[in-house]
Amino acid sequence: MLFDLKTGKRRRVIQVVFGFLAFIFFISFVGFGIGSDVSGGIFDALGVGGNDSGSASSQYELQIDEAEEKLASDPGNQKALTDVARYRYLSGQDQLSFDEETGVASLTEETRAEWNLALDAWEQLTRGKPGKIDEQVATQMICAYLPPYPVCGVEAPVETVNFKGAIETQTLLAEQSDDVTAYGQLAAFYYFDNDVKGGKRAAEEALSRAESEKQRKRLSKQLEKLEKQARDYITAQDVASEAGGEGEGEPQLPNPFGGLGTDSGAGGLPPVGP
């Protein structure tokens, strides 16, 4: 039986299936680009995968050194912390491993080390409750938190995913932009993290910002589908947990984002428009 949840292997299959379905609904929701001031919403804002080939991480050393010198004397300098996050991220991006045949990028130890430093600076910045954040850097940090996320175009172990950090950053983006799409994306991140209550709150915020009744109805339909899949996903996990394994061991969890966006030819998603 396909939905026999008594074995560890099939339990993992169910987890991935429902995670994949929830992601499909998120893609269809974001595909509308509802209410966003930026064409394509998060996909355009992330700005990943566009570096010139052959660039070296050393090109960012000067900017990083200058920002870190400022922090040595002024640890709370918001611009310096933003610059460290920005240039450490870009430095790590330059050190991704690219497959010459497929063009797919893979996470390297060097990239992970640089992105960890970028996130350290970013989290220091956000703990200080900055008045306004750099939206481009914030979306880059989402890729650092979620490297296998399709729009980031990076193959990475699912263990590298940190939805908590992504949710905190997306919350700042949503509050700053007060945008319907930003809150919809926040709802999706909550749902991915199995937090239905948080997703529902963010979904309600998104709906309250709809610009017309037609938009609200369309958005409501997408969010309802997303919530249903999230609830099904959590139910499957609960059933699996109660059933327990039967000695088959726990195989490594595949990337729940895998196999998406191949039409773009660059490991990301197809272009998204309003």
Write out the chain's pLDDT in tens, 274 residues: 333 434 554 444 444 444 444 454 455 555 444 444 443 344 444 444 444 433 346 789 999 999 999 999 999 999 999 999 999 999 999 999 998 888 889 999 999 999 999 999 999 999 988 889 999 999 999 999 998 876 787 888 877 889 999 999 999 999 999 999 899 989 988 988 889 899 999 999 999 999 999 999 999 998 888 888 777 767 776 777 777 654 455 444 444 444 333 333 222 222 222 2
Please state the φ and ψ torsions of residue 97, each to the nearest 5 degrees: -95, 125
Nearest C-alpha neighbor of 144 from the set 161, 168, 124, 164: 161
Q: Are residues 195 and 160 in the same domain?
A: no
Q: Are residues 145 and 199 in the same domain?
A: no
Q: What is the C-alpha radius of gyration for the chain, rounded to an integer number of angstroms?
A: 19
Q: Are residues 90 and 135 in the same domain?
A: yes
Is residue 199 domain-resident? Answer: yes
Q: Give every CB contact of residue 39 below 8 A, 6+ residues apart in sequence.
A: 33, 273, 274
H or E stretch at 120: helix 109-127
Number of structural domains (the chain) is 2
Q: Are residues 153 and 238 in the same domain?
A: no
Q: Are residues 244 and 120 in the same domain?
A: no
Last residue of a domain, one of 160, 178, 196: 178
Structural domain harbouring 62? 42-178
Report how far residue 185's alpha carbon sits from residue 122's, in angstroms, rounded to the nearest whole number.
20
Q: Are residues 69 and 171 in the same domain?
A: yes
Q: Are residues 86 and 160 in the same domain?
A: yes
